[in-house]
């Protein structure tokens, strides 16, 4: 058990009581399955995701399974993708399988969007994943999703340009600001990094790293803290860097942001273990010029979880058993992990949550892009620094939207204040208790 396991488990158990999860989630399907292919045709599963490596995993699965075939559809990540999934469930045309990040599991389960996978994958989750990860997907003794990866924050930087501008890799946020000042002073057209205003998941991870807790529980009541002291410190820090024109604010992974990195106008970025895969396709000509390091911190080694995905079966699926077989193969089978990393069009560098699969992933991942750096060892080390005690809320998507909309207009500090207001109103609007 890692040092974070006990706190994660305690937070998750407490969240169940406040969420009223199982009173509302009973509409998530009873797990009935019509997987028998009596007509001789294979069961066809529809699978929606934005994750890297999905195409190659589906192709590998289809080649090796005669009774189940999977049809892959790419959807957007972030709030747009989650809205698409939730709307599809409401319309009755949702896919069988989808990916959702850990922060969305309580919300999707409480809204009745998920099928209880305890019968089909509960033992797999219990036996194959660390307790700290189990607690993110299992509530009240029921397994709602199957984990794939854990996503500790990492800092990516251009080794050649850091040398050119004479800056060291910052270990703290004070050093980060000093490096940003140096870069701007030496070249008015270049910045150390960009902090997107449209990525509340990144802001959440940075707040998590700083010791923030956006949600907690008191008995059976929710206590949101989206604008708690630690988060306000983080928001004020980035508002200050933006005000002083020390960082850019490109939309995350937009063409403009990628071009700035490619042109050498952005020297580094705040990412996670999964970021390296996308770099290969978005910036292929910069192979060998990037490296990864621990995220700068506030004085003590720490990380937040920036994403991390799990697999779900959505309400309305008639193929729960087949879907669970596909998901189990994706998350615990060597061939599934290798296939995800073999996708040349959208390669993955996700750090498997299943420890048995990490060596498989590390052996398969092409380290040439990062000049031979052992990304998986670094990511595994940083996973152990994820600060314990974080709890996700029951209306996370609405909170994210409120933060993004307000941040775009008036900055991060006002953004987290808007997120707090939305968290409070969302809890009461859903008939849940709000702590006083």
Residue 12's pLDDT band (cuts 50, 70, 90): very low
Residue 346's pLDDT band (cuts 50, 70, 90): confident
Q: Per-residue b/e over 72-99, b at no fewer than 16 CB within 10 Å?
A: beebebbbebbeebbebbeeeebbbbbb
pLDDT at residue 9 is higher than 80? no
The residues, any chain, with a CB within 8 Å of residue 262's CB and separated by 6 or more, are 283, 285, 286
- Please tell me the predicted confidence (pLDDT) of residue 347: 80
Residue 1's pLDDT band (cuts 50, 70, 90): very low
- Please tell me the predicted confidence (pLDDT) of residue 369: 94
Question: What is the reported pTM?
Answer: 0.88
- Please tell me the predicted confidence (pLDDT) of residue 26: 40
Question: Which range has highest mean pLDDT (78-82, 266-270, 351-355)?
Answer: 266-270
Residue 141's pLDDT band (cuts 50, 70, 90): confident
Residues forming a β-bridge with 292: 156
- Would you give the end-to-end CA distance of the chain in angstroms? 35
The residues, any chain, with a CB within 8 Å of residue 226's CB and separated by 6 or more, are 214, 215, 399, 403, 416, 419, 420, 423
CA distance linking residue 264 with residue 158, whole number of Å: 8
Q: Take residue 345 and report the two structure tokens written for it.
A: 């069009």
CA distance linking residue 221 with residue 85, whole number of Å: 28
Secondary structure of the chain as H, E, C letters:
CCCCHHHHHHHHHHHHHHHCHHHHHHHHCCCCCCCCCCCCCCEEEEEEECCCCHHHHHHHHHHHCCCEEEEEEECCCHHHHHHHHHHHHHHCCCCCEEEEEHHHHHHHHHCCCECCCHHHHHHHHHHHCCHHHHHHHEECCEECCEECEECEEEEEEEHHHHHHHCCCCCCEHHHHHHHHHHHHHHCCCCECCECCCCCHHHHHHHHHHCCCCCEEEECCEEEECCCCHHHHHHHHHHHHHHHCCCCECCCCCCHHHHHHHHCCCECEEEEECCHHHHHHHHCHHHCCCEEEEECCECCCCCECECCCEEEEEECCCCCHHHHHHHHHHHHHCHHHHHHHHCCCCCCCCCEECCHHHHHHHHHHCCHHHHCCCCHHHHHHHHHCCECCCCECCCCHHHHHHHHHHHHHHHCHHHHHHHHHHHHHHHHHHCCCEECC
- Please tell me the predicted confidence (pLDDT) of residue 180: 98
Mean pLDDT of all residues belonging to the chain: 90
Which percentage of the chain shows pLDDT scores above 90? 78
pLDDT at residue 32 is higher than 70? no
pLDDT at residue 109 is higher than 50? yes
Residue 20's pLDDT band (cuts 50, 70, 90): low
Task: Return the minimum-mean-pLDDT range out of 60-64, 209-213, 222-226, 361-365.
Answer: 361-365
Q: Is 338 exposed, middle or buried (0-12, 13-18, 19+ CB in 10 A)?
A: middle
**Interval 77-100 mean pLDDT:** 95
Task: Return the minimum-mean-pLDDT range out of 75-79, 185-189, 220-224.
Answer: 75-79
Is-contact 347 189, C-beta < 8 A?
no
- Please tell me the predicted confidence (pLDDT) of residue 135: 84
CA distance linking residue 373 with residue 365, whole number of Å: 11
**Where do the domains of the chain lie, and which CATH numbers do they carry?**
5-150+307-353 (3.40.190.10), 153-304+391-434 (3.40.190.10)
Is-contact 69 17, C-beta < 8 A?
no
Helix axes 412-429, 229-243, angle to 10 degrees: 140
The residues, any chain, with a CB within 8 Å of residue 97's CB and separated by 6 or more, are 45, 46, 47, 48, 70, 311, 312, 313, 314, 317, 323, 326, 327
pLDDT at residue 298 is higher than 50? yes
Q: Take residue 109 and report the two structure tokens written for it.
A: 């389960």
Residue 39's pLDDT band (cuts 50, 70, 90): low
pLDDT at residue 255 is higher than 90? yes
Task: Return the minimum-mean-pLDDT range out of 38-42, 79-83, 340-344, 374-378.
Answer: 38-42
CA 294 remoteness from chain centre:
17
pLDDT at residue 34 is higher than 60? no
pLDDT at residue 23 is higher than 50? no
Is-contact 328 128, C-beta < 8 A?
no
pLDDT at residue 405 is higher than 70? yes
Task: Return the minimum-mean-pLDDT range out of 17-31, 143-157, 171-185.
Answer: 17-31
Is-contact 257 266, C-beta < 8 A?
yes
- Please tell me the predicted confidence (pLDDT) of residue 343: 81
**Interval 311-333 mean pLDDT:** 97
Q: Take residue 104 and report the two structure tokens written for it.
A: 């969305």
pLDDT at residue 6 is higher than 60? no
pLDDT at residue 383 is higher than 70? yes
């Amino acid at each position: 058990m890692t040092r974070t396991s006990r706190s994660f488990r305690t937070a998750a158990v407490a969240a169940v009581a406040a969420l009223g999860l199982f009173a509302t989630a009973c509409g998530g399907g009873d797990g009935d399955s019509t997987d028998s292919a009596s007509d001789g045709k294979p069961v066809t599963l529809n699978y929606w995701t934005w994750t890297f490596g999905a195409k190659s995993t589906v192709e590998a699965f289809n080649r090796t399974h005669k009774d189940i075939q999977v049809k892959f559809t790419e959807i957007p990540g972030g709030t747009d993708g989650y809205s698409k999934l939730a709307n599809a469930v409401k319309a009755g045309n949702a896919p069988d399988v989808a990916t959702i990040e850990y922060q969305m599991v309580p919300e999707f389960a409480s809204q009745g969007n998920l099928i209880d996978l305890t019968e089909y994958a509960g033992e797999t989750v219990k036996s194959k994943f660390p307790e700290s990860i189990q607690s993110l997907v299992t509530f009240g003794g029921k397994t709602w999703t199957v984990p794939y990866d854990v996503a500790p924050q990492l800092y990516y930087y251009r080794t050649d340009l850091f040398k050119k501008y004479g800056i060291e890799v910052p270990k703290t946020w004070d050093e980060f600001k000093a490096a940003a000042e140096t870069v701007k002073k030496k070249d008015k057209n270049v910045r150390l990094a960009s902090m997107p205003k449209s990525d509340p998941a990144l802001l959440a991870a940075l707040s998590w790293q700083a010791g923030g807790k956006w949600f907690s529980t008191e008995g059976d009541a929710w206590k949101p803290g989206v604008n708690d002291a630690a988060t306000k410190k983080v928001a004020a820090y980035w508002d200050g860097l933006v005000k002083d024109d020390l960082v850019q604010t490109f939309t995350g992974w937009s063409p403009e942001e990628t071009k700035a990195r490619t042109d050498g106008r952005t020297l580094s970025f705040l990412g996670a273990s999964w970021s390296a895969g996308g770099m290969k396709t978005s910036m292929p000509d910069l192979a060998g010029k990037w490296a990864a390091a621990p995220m700068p911190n506030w004085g003590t080694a720490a990380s937040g979880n920036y994403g991390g995905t799990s697999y779900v079966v959505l309400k309305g699926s008639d193929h729960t058993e087949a879907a669970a077989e596909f998901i189990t193969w994706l998350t615990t089978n060597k061939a599934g992990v290798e296939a995800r990393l073999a996708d040349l069009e959208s390669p993955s560098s996700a750090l498997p949550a299943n420890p048995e699969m990490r060596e498989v992933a590390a052996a398969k991942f092409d380290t040439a892009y990062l000049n031979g750096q052992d990304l998986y060892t670094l990511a595994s080390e940083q996973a152990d620094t994820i600060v314990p005690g974080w709890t996700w809320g029951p209306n996370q998507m609405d909170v994210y939207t409120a933060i993004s909309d307000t941040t775009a207009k008036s900055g991060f500090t006002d953004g987290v204040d808007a997120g707090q207001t939305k968290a409070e109103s969302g809890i009461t609007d859903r008939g849940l208790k709000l702590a006083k």
